[in-house]
């Protein structure tokens, strides 16, 4: 099955009714386990705690504000040729326990499952893509209500998250107001 079909179901209907027009939620019961092969919480935990994600590919957000890099990184060692700060797994998890969202950026560049999935989506959509992962503690919210300047596909890989998607022309009108479960996919056009 192609990547786009895994996200939206019927591709023809998606392009006709939703692409650049309207949000689409493909709920978990129709899509159960659809993204288990792409990444898991254990995979993301391994990246943060063991692999050593570059500080330029990780940020943390709490209550609508980006945390200072020094809140979850340490300076490089004396023998390092780089001046880039190093992500500290323990500091990341301290901030997470305090309610901060972990944002892993550009995962398609170094996670092979996502690279292939993303490449296939790019061919279907005719656009370059970027894959980010957002890990938010239960009961927390990383971002305030906002508008994105690009289309977004949300693939709920684990857990659940309450999403409200507003009409871009009428910001008082909620088009989607749902608890998104693992296996669900949500498309949101820019704006």
User: Which tokens is 158 given?
Assistant: 């684990």
Contact 134, 142 (CB under 8 A): yes
Strand partners, 86: 54, 74
pLDDT digits (tens, 9 = 90+) for 55-64: 888 999 998 8
How far, CA to CA in Å, does 6 sit from each of 1, 32, 143, 153? 7, 10, 27, 11
- pLDDT class of 40 with cuts at 50, 70, 90: confident
How far, CA to CA in Å, does 69 sit from each of 23, 118, 129, 134? 33, 28, 25, 17
Task: Please report the beta strands in the chain, taking only residues with DSSP state E, as ranges in sequence order.
Answer: 24-26, 58-62, 65-66, 73-74, 86-87, 101-104, 133-135, 152-155, 160-166, 174-181, 185-188
Mean pLDDT, the chain, integer: 87
User: Which tokens is 162 given?
Assistant: 């309450």
3-class SS of residue 30: helix
Strand partners, 26: 185
Q: Is the pTM of this model over 0.75?
A: yes
pLDDT digits (tens, 9 = 90+) for 95-152: 999 999 999 888 888 778 889 999 999 999 999 998 888 889 888 877 767 677 789 9
Domains of the chain with CATH codes: 1-190 (2.60.120.650)
Strand partners, 25: 186
How far, CA to CA in Å, does 103 sit from each of 2, 11, 188? 26, 29, 19
Higher-confidence position of 107 and 73: 73
Burial label for 169, CB within 10 Å (0-12, 13-18, 19+), is: exposed
What pLDDT does residue 74 have? 87
Contact 115, 109 (CB under 8 A): yes
């Amino acid at each position: 099955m192609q990547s786009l079909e895994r996200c939206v179901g019927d591709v023809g209907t998606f392009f006709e009714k939703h692409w650049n027009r309207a949000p689409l939620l493909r709920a978990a019961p129709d899509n159960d386990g659809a993204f288990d092969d792409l990444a898991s919480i254990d995979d993301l935990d391994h990246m943060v705690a063991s692999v050593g994600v570059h500080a330029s590919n990780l940020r943390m957000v709490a209550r609508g504000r980006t945390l200072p890099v020094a809140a979850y990184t340490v300076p490089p060692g004396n023998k390092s040729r780089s001046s880039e700060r190093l992500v500290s797994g323990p500091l990341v998890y301290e901030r997470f326990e305090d309610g901060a969202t972990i944002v892993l950026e550009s995962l398609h560049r170094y996670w092979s499952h996502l690279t292939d999935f993303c490449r296939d989506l790019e061919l279907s959509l005719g656009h370059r893509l970027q894959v980010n992962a957002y890990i938010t503690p239960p009961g927390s919210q990383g971002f305030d209500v906002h508008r994105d300047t690009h289309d977004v596909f949300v693939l709920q890989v684990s857990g659940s998250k309450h999403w409200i998607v507003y009409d871009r022309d009428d910001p008082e009108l909620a088009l989607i107001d749902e608890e998104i479960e693992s296996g669900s996919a949500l498309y949101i056009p820019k704006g």
